[in-house]
Structure 1
Amino acid sequence: MSKITLITILVCAVFICGSTTISAQNSMTKTSNLMRPPYLKTGDTVAIVAPSGILRNRTAEIEKAKSLLESWRLYPIVGKNVFNQNHHFAGTDAERHEDLQNAMDDPKISAIWCARGGYGTVRILDKLNYTKFRKHPKWVIGYSDITALHNQIHNEGFESLHAMMCTSLQDDANTIPETIATFKDALFGSSLKYNLEGTNYNRTGKASGQLVGGNLTLLLTMLGSKTSINTAGKILFIEEIGEYEYNIDRMLQSLKRAGYFDNCKGVIIGDISKVRRNTTPWGSPVQQLILDALAEYNFPIAFNMPAGHEKDNRALIFGRSIELTVEKDQSSIIFQK
């Protein structure tokens, strides 16, 4: 091999490596400064869409959701395909995508409220176009399966709202006043601050950073895709429902092996609901399972955040910087204005 050829190869290698490093750095900093959709005001329009599971026989909840918005002097509109049925889903992938895309594109819409979770959002993620959304950003609201959409919106550079969905109103709304109050506060720009009940499972400490996360299963599902979030320098919230303890451990171990927690600043544990019983007992409470899985890290871990699949499901602004203080007797979460 001639000297000229060798030099050419080395120069190309340096250029490629440098480009890769720059690309990786850009990916790491892509979401450092997120855009905040305008807070809602009287007369704003809120679109109700169903990007996931079927809404069979659930018109009453949608009517309650509309009434709640109207009581705040907002104008609700319902996607034309919301009550469609396609086996497991609220319409075909094309129909669910159509409703969500139309709401994202419409400059007159100020917020998009997901009717329910279940499963299905991941099937339409790659069809979404954010060109018009970037010009007229709006709050996207939901939890559970909507975690997939929260992750994508975060990577697009916008804040979003982990909060109650329309089907959360299946019971009398008065039974969940804190849930509704924090949802309204987040939408209209009031301050958010939570004092969490203490527990000996808390790992004490202080941290600050953007809040990200959602449903544990969905976070794992996004892993390795362009929709997976970068948790470096951020505080991760997780919640889950209906899983065996061994599967919760398996998901945490999988995320850990992928480096998900390596540069994380802190973890907030929401509701881990309806844990299923295995024929072979796990041998420790789910709180200890989480601590054991994350034992090698020194960031604070706060339990007892009332958010997830329980009636008391308080609003969290994903992408917003928070101050987290964790003690054994109490933890606090303060959202930056």
Structure 2
Amino acid sequence: MNRVNKIAIVSLSKGILGEAFVAHELELGKKRIKELGVDLCFMPNALKGLEYLDNHPEERAKDLLQAFKDPSIDMILCAIGGDDTYRLLPYLFENDELKNAVSEKIFLGFSDSTINHLMLNKVGLRTFYGQAFLSDVCELSSSMLPYSKNYFNKLITTGKIDKIVPSSIWYDSREDFSANAIGTTMKEHSNEGFILLQGSSIFSGKILGGCIDTIYDIFDGTRYKDSPELCKKYSLFPSLDEWKGKILLLESSEEKASAKKYRDMIKALSNYGIFDVINGLLIGQPMDRTYEDEYFEILKSEVGNKNLSIAANINVGHSTPRCIIPFGVTAHVDISKQVIEFEY
């Protein structure tokens, strides 16, 4: 795929994009996409609001299927994340609906959209992780954050991401999302780049993963009792054989999990056996870098494979700014050179 000519917005988790309190952000996002010379459409249920989409996961699933079936759409962009995307599983897999609908398009999202990435991985589609419409295109600063914009533009104009380098700065998370905040900036901090926690500084493999909080819900039913059951029924999380030789990406949500919760989440993955078969582990910078040192210590103590390369402080997911990471493409990570390159 080359240049993107038309983007479709989907609300596959929370319906926040349809609420009046984000109308100013929505208009900002529309304007920015237009300035890029790209057509924008909203799938039929994308703007129906929180209550409707909470009550109708089947309508969210329909939007995804319809977007894949529409030949005029080049890119499917998630509005935002949420916490219950797993509820789409029966409507996408019971009769091979997703497998029969999927076509070669760009799919971009993060956070709870991790579930969608795992769904699309199951049907063989390479996807892109790390940004969303409301979080990035609709950013209330005078423009998209420069680092984020650079990767978004690369994806729009070339259909791929060829390499990732660290951002020179990171930002405090935005607290005011009101119309009064349009044009305001966030506090900046210097960023030291990718950090090697253990193992070799050079490793390769196809990347897959996402938000650790969402991945944990695949194993643990504390948040939603039926989540592990549904995910197991449809074999959402890849088997250890499927994880062999891959690189696992983990980034943490805006909930800023306590050290205890983070340890539980890492232990669940360790008990699954994933750290014994993957080629490396990439860790996204936590939002506001909260509990970062604690997370690093937990990773080094709970990952039993001491030869496993763990690279942290990747600018992706819930920290700002955000790069875009291709899933399903061979990645060559070189922490000594501060670069991750992709081989298509």
Alignment TM class, shorter chain as reference: 0.7 to 0.9
Cα 1:133–1:185 change in 2 (3 A) is farther
Q: SS of the counterpart of 1:304? A: strand
Counterpart mapping for 1:120-135 below 5 A: 120-128=84-92, 129-134=97-102
Contact 2:118 2:237 in 1 (8 A): yes
Task: Give per-residue Cα distances to partners, 1:51-74, cap 9 Å, x unaligned.
Answer: 111312223333332222222221
Name the residue aligned to 2:149: 180
Q: Which amino acid letter does the alignment assign opposite residue 66 of structure 1?
A: K
Distance in 2, Cα, partners of 1:191 & 1:82: 27
Query: What is the match of residue 52 of structure 1?
Result: 13
Q: Which moved more, 1:83-92 or 1:136-145?
A: 83-92
Provide TM-score, normalisation by structure 2: 0.77
CA 1:40–1:170: 2 relative to 1, 3 Å: same
User: CA–CA distance in 1 between the matches of 2:287 and 2:84?
Assistant: 21
Deviation at 1:212, TM superposition (A): 0.7
1:276, CA displacement in angstroms?
A: 7.4
Please say if 1:236 is aligned against 2:248.
yes
Classify 1:254/1:247 alpha carbon distance in 2 versus 1 (closer, same or farther; 3 Å): same
- Name the counterpart of 1:301: 310
CA contact (8 A) 1:244 1:276 kept: no
How far apart in 2 are the matches of 1:250 and 1:222?
13
Distance 1:313 1:46, change over 3 A: same
Equivalent position SS for 2:213: helix
**Equivalences, count:** 290
**What residue in structure 2 maps to residue 12 of structure 1?**
none
- Aligned-residue sequence identity (percent) comes to 22
Q: Which residue in the other structure is 1:150 paired with? A: 117
Residue among 253, 269, 282 paired with 1:255: 269
Say which of 213, 227, 236 aligns to 2:236. 227
Indicate conservation of the 8 Å contact 1:320/1:336, yes or no.
yes
Contact 1:110 1:139 in 2 (8 A): yes
The 1-side partners of 2:198 and 2:28 are apart by 37
The alignment status of 1:95 with 2:95, answered yes or no, reads: no
- Residue 202 of structure 1: how far off its partner (Å): 4.9
Instruction: Quote the residue 1:320 is aligned against.
Output: 329
Other-structure match for 1:21: none
Q: Residues 221, 87 of structure 1: CA spacing in aligned structure 2 closer, same or farther, 3 A cutoff?
A: same
Residues 1:95 and 1:133: Cα distance change in structure 2 (over 3 Å): closer
Query: Do the aligned partners of residues 175 and 46 (structure 1) sit closer, same or farther apart at CA in structure 2, a change above 3 Å counting?
Result: closer
Kept in 2, the 8 Å contact 1:89–1:119? The answer is no
Instruction: State the distance in 2 between where 1:173 and 1:133 align.
Output: 38
Of 187-196 and 104-113, deviating more is: 187-196
- What do residues 72-130 of structure 1 show as CA deviations (whole Å, max 9, x unaligned)? 22111012222223539466213222222211221221111110101221111231222
- Structure 2 CA distance for aligned equivalents of residues 212 and 130 of structure 1: 19
Q: Quote the Cα distance in structure 1 between the aligned partners of 2:203 and 2:195.
A: 18
Relative to structure 2, which stretch is displaced further, 254-263 or 65-74? 65-74
RMSD in angstroms over aligned alpha carbons? 2.4
- Which of 197, 202, 208 is the matching residue for 1:212? 208
Gaps of 5+ in 1: 1-37
Structure 2 unaligned regions, length at least 5: 167-192, 220-230
Distance 1:175 1:96, change over 3 A: closer
Task: Give the alignment of 1:270-285 within 5 angstroms.
Answer: 270-273=284-287, 285=294
Higher Cα Rg, which structure = 1
Structure-2 change in CA distance of 1:133 and 1:95 (3 Å): closer
